[in-house]
Amino acid sequence: MTDDTTKGGELLEAMLHPIRLRALQELARGPKTTGELGERLADVPASSLYRHMKALRDAGVVTAEERRPARGALERVYALARPARLTAEDVAGMGGDEHARHFATYALTLIERFGAYASPQPTLDMAADRSGYTETTFWATDEEVDAELETIRGALARLRALEPTPERRARVFVAITHPETPGEETSDE
């Protein structure tokens, strides 16, 4: 295993733990003290949260350089030290089995988050919530996919730039793309 592969694997291990991923999603919205993270992750015991934040700090994913007075003490203010996603360089050289294992962790976190949204509601109006899930298969060259993904990235950048207001809800957009397994190509009808 190369140093780059080890680095990517360590970053994945640090970032794709379900609790750490939730903490990173909170920090993507802005720096937070340990107490603020604890309020947002109320189901996570404080001692566990401190351990997980230390793991993220040790991996270089978050920083805790500032301290802020809170409840009569100085609390660390955590911020992202890097984007909360891995680059192609971070995962270069990793094998398919390792990617599949990390993707499964990520997918389970998505299932948990969707369940937290959907389960407590006796009736769910996904159309009113602008919520949904779908899959579509299409035929495209690498260049065509790149062009459309750039359009999507631009639209998401414009949405991420919007400031929170009482009228705006925090929303999650997940996109997963991969080539179809040979022999399984289908078309939507």
List, for residues 14-40, the tens digit of each pLDDT value.
887 888 988 998 898 889 998 899 998
CATH code, domain carrying 13: 1.10.10.10
Q: State how far the Cα of 11 lies from the Cα of 24, in Å rounded to an integer.
A: 13
Residue 61 belongs to some domain of the structure: yes
Establish if 105 belongs to a structural domain.
no
User: Does residue 125 lie in a domain region?
Assistant: no
In a domain, 64, yes or no: yes
The domain of 59 spans 3-80
Strand ordering across the sheet containing 62-70? 32-33, 73-80, 62-70
Q: What is the mean pLDDT of residues 68-90?
A: 82
pLDDT: which is higher, 189 or 83: 83
Q: For residue range 102-135, what is the model confidence (pLDDT) as tens digits? A: 788 888 888 888 888 888 888 999 999 999 988 8
Which residue in this structure is represented by tokens 């060259």? 141
Per-residue pLDDT, 9 = 63
**121-174 tens-digit pLDDT:** 889 999 999 999 888 899 999 999 999 999 999 999 999 899 889 999 988 888
* CA-based torsion, 158, 159, 164, 165: positive or negative: positive
- Does 96 fall in a domain? no
Query: How high is the pLDDT of residue 52?
Result: 94
Q: What is the mean pLDDT of residues 63-78?
A: 84
Kindly tell me if the per-residue pLDDT of 2 is higher than 60: no
Domain count, the chain: 1
Instruction: Judge whether 21 lies within some domain.
Output: yes
Is 126 a member of any domain?
Answer: no
Whole-number pLDDT of residue 79: 94
What integer best gives the mean pLDDT of the chain? 84
Q: Is 60 left (phi over 0), alpha (psi -120 to 50) or beta?
A: left
- Is a pLDDT exceeding 60 seen at residue 5? no
Which letter does DSSP use for residue 187 in this model? -
Is 133 part of a structural domain of the chain? no
Residue 8 has a pLDDT of 55
Q: Is the pTM of this model over 0.85?
A: no
Q: Minimal CA–CA distance to 98: which of 66, 106, 154, 112?
A: 106
Whether residue 11 has pLDDT greater than 80: no
Torsion angle of C-alpha atoms 151, 30, 118, 166, degrees rounded to 10: -90
Burial of 106 (0-12, 13-18, 19+ CB in 10 A): middle
Which one has a higher pLDDT value, 19 or 69?
19
